[in-house]
Amino acid sequence: MNKKLVLLISLIAVTLLLSGCTEFDQPISDQSEGFWNEFIVWPLVSTIKFFKGLLGTYGFGIIAVTIIIRLVMLPLMIKQTKSSKRMQEVQPELVKLKEQYKSKDAVTQQKYQKEMMALFQEKGVNPMAGCLPVLIQMPVLIGFYHAISRMNNTPEIDLGSFLIFPLAEPSIILAVVAGLMQFTVLRTGPAMDNPQMRIMMYFMPVMIIGFGIVLPSALTLYWVIGNIISLIQNLVIYRPWEKKDVQQPVKMKAGGAKK
Residue 13 lies in a domain: no
DSSP conformational letter for 162: E
Residue 193, domain extent: 29-88+128-244
Residue 15 lies in a domain: no
Residue 100 lies in a domain: no
Helix (H, G, I), strand (E, B) or coil at 57: coil
Contact assessment for residue 158 and residue 151, using Cβ atoms and an 8 Å cutoff: no
- Rounded mean pLDDT for each run of 10 residues along the chain, 259 residues in total: 51 53 72 80 91 92 90 77 72 81 77 82 67 66 81 85 88 93 81 59 83 88 88 78 49 45
pLDDT at 1: 44
Q: Which residues of 141-177 are buried (b: 16+ CB within 10 A; e: fewer)?
A: bbbbbbbbbbbbeeeebebeebeebebbebbeebbbb
- Number of domains making up the chain: 1
Residue 95 lies in a domain: no
Residue 54 lies in a domain: yes
pLDDT at 191: 58
